[in-house]
Chains A and B, each alone.
Chain A
Amino acid sequence: MRIKPIALWIKAAGLAGLMLSSQAAQAHARWLVPSHTNLSGQEAHGIALDLSISNDIFHADRSYGGSEDKSRNGRAKPQLIAVAPDGSRSAPIAYFDVLRKSTAGVTLAQSGTYRIGLEQPATVFTFYKDAKGERGRVFGGKDSKDIPAGATELSTTRMQARVETFVSRNQTTALQPTGKGLELGSGTHPNDLFTGETIRWQLLQDGKPVAEGTEVTLMRGATRYRNERGDIQLKTDAKGFIEVSLAHAGMYLLEAGVNRASDTQGIDNERASLFLTFEVVPA
């Protein structure tokens, strides 16, 4: 069970919730899974995507923008965008709610590596301690009407989640970091991953290598068929790199989160998280 009781995780995070532990701030894993990560051939092909909000990795639980997607809080559905190898951005791609997941199709017309992901405005939460000493959180800033009277230790965090994957048609081309939020930088190409080979990835926070010791979790799909989830916990080195060799083929979800003090009035903490789906094939 990944969701920790709020009281526990705020305590673990310390300092009145200003610095959130990397595991805690996201209630659920968010992901999208492509039907193919590599395509070959002269003709443009499409891929299918499954998108869901679920801690049971790659088993769907909640669709995006459906009635159970609590994170929306009345906002627009996230936009599904494909960034082509030449850097051009697609129009928002339609996706369909099929109760526990959303589905979409994307056509890859260019040769090279596409970045396909969900884009959504940042979410603002305010954490507090109520009059009885219980911790809680509400959507919105410190002026939110949902904060109980007499609450103290108010702390506001703006969260930006990046939910994405990479798919290559014919060539693999270098990733083009956006310079915003938490994302994959240089290193092993995410569409060239084989069992038993070293994967080395740099993570970037706002275009710069993340701090040393940033926690990164790798989760292999099909968790339902294993008694042990076998999540792999890694920490970045001084240059923001993780290094790992994976023994098992499969679709994996990389999850990480970083915080920094905000320079926006009314916001204390900026949190950026990354949910990156990648495929490892047998050597």
Chain B
Amino acid sequence: MKLSALVLATTLASAVTHAAQLEITLNQPALDVQPYHRPYIAVWVEDSERNAVATIALWKQLEEGDKWLKDLRQYWRKIGRNAGSEVDAVTGATRRPGDHLLQWDGTDSQGKPLPAGEYLLNIEASREEGGRDYHRVAFKLGQQGQMNLPAKVELGPIQISIK
């Protein structure tokens, strides 16, 4: 039930999607640890005053509900704590290690296009029995550019292209 609602939401969302404004290739490194718990990962956008404006992705263990969401500390304080159903469309299960492509169309959580200007891209990962990594980088929406974030431990290298 939950899953089919998710698929439907995703389909609807993609049907009205504007052209991608932000393309993120996020590497989730394979770690040689036993046991390996897939990390929780959140990717979201804040305005320059650090007010959350859009969630791009939230990967969590769906069967656990929100019990461990607090460990994505920055996501939790900025969005998770106050989030309603608007993040359902971008919520999915934790992923296997590898390169993950994410796209964002420059709209807020209501689907309204955001004005051009400076925003903050946030990427946070937290792994059970592992560590936590967090990036917060400024970018200009509406101005073409390319950014590369160096690998940390829970997050590998990240390429960001602004269209």
Does B95 make an interface contact (CB < 8 A)? no
- Bound together, the chains give a CA A38 to CA B109 distance in angstroms of 25
Is the Cβ of B65 less than 8 Å from the Cβ of A281?
no
B67, B69, B70, B73 interface centre (most CB from chain A within 10 Å): B70
Does A41 make an interface contact (CB < 8 A)? yes
- Bound together, the chains give a CA A45 to CA B77 distance in angstroms of 19
Does A178 make an interface contact (CB < 8 A)? no
Is the Cβ of B65 less than 8 Å from the Cβ of A42?
yes
5 extra A-B contacts, CB within 8 A, seeds A39-B70, A41-B67: A40-B70, A41-B65, A42-B65, A170-B81, A283-B74
Interface size of A by Cβ–Cβ distance < 8 Å?
15
Does B59 make an interface contact (CB < 8 A)? no
1/0 contact string of B57-73 vs chain A (CB within 8 Å): 00000000111111001
Q: A281-B73, A283-B74 are in contact. Are A43 and B81 (CB under 8 A)?
A: no
- Bound together, the chains give a CA A31 to CA B132 distance in angstroms of 29
- Bound together, the chains give a CA A43 to CA B63 distance in angstroms of 13
Does A171 make an interface contact (CB < 8 A)? yes
**Main secondary structure on chain B at its contact with chain A?**
helix
Is the Cβ of B70 less than 8 Å from the Cβ of A192?
no
- Bound together, the chains give a CA A39 to CA B70 distance in angstroms of 6
Residues of B within 8 A of A171 (CB): 81-82
Does A55 make an interface contact (CB < 8 A)? no
- Nearest Cβ distance between residue A249 and chain B, in whole angstroms? 10
Is the Cβ of A41 less than 8 Å from the Cβ of B66?
yes
Q: Which residues of A contact B (CB under 8 A)?
A: 38-43, 45, 170-172, 192, 194, 281-283
- Nearest Cβ distance between residue A31 and chain B, in whole angstroms? 23
Partner of B80, one of A40, A42, A192: A40
Chain A, residue nearest B71 (CB):
A40
- Bound together, the chains give a CA A127 to CA B69 distance in angstroms of 53
Q: Which residues of B contact A (CB under 8 A)?
A: 65-70, 73-74, 76-77, 80-82, 132, 134
Chain B, residue nearest A189 (CB):
B77
Residues of A within 8 A of B76 (CB): 38, 40
Chain A, residue nearest B67 (CB):
A41
- Bound together, the chains give a CA A170 to CA B73 distance in angstroms of 12
Residues of B within 8 A of A283 (CB): 74, 134
Residues of B within 8 A of A40 (CB): 66-70, 76, 80-81
Is the Cβ of B73 less than 8 Å from the Cβ of A43?
no
- Residue pairs across A and B with Cβ atoms less than 8 A apart, 9 shown, are A38-B70, A38-B76, A40-B69, A41-B65, A41-B67, A170-B81, A171-B82, A172-B81, A283-B74
Closest 6 CB pairs of A and B: A41-B67, A40-B70, A41-B66, A40-B69, A40-B66, A38-B70
- Bound together, the chains give a CA A170 to CA B69 distance in angstroms of 10
- Nearest Cβ distance between residue A194 and chain B, in whole angstroms? 8
- Bound together, the chains give a CA A149 to CA B33 distance in angstroms of 73
- Nearest Cβ distance between residue B29 and chain A, in whole angstroms? 20
Chain B, residue nearest A172 (CB):
B81
- Bound together, the chains give a CA A192 to CA B73 distance in angstroms of 9
- Nearest Cβ distance between residue B93 and chain A, in whole angstroms? 17
Is the Cβ of B70 less than 8 Å from the Cβ of A43?
no
- Nearest Cβ distance between residue A60 and chain B, in whole angstroms? 26
Chain B, residue nearest A171 (CB):
B81
B73, B82, B132 interface centre (most CB from chain A within 10 Å): B73
- Nearest Cβ distance between residue B65 and chain A, in whole angstroms? 5
- Nearest Cβ distance between residue B74 and chain A, in whole angstroms? 7
Residues of A within 8 A of B65 (CB): 41-43
Chain B, residue nearest A39 (CB):
B70
- Bound together, the chains give a CA A281 to CA B134 distance in angstroms of 13
Residues of B within 8 A of A43 (CB): 65, 67
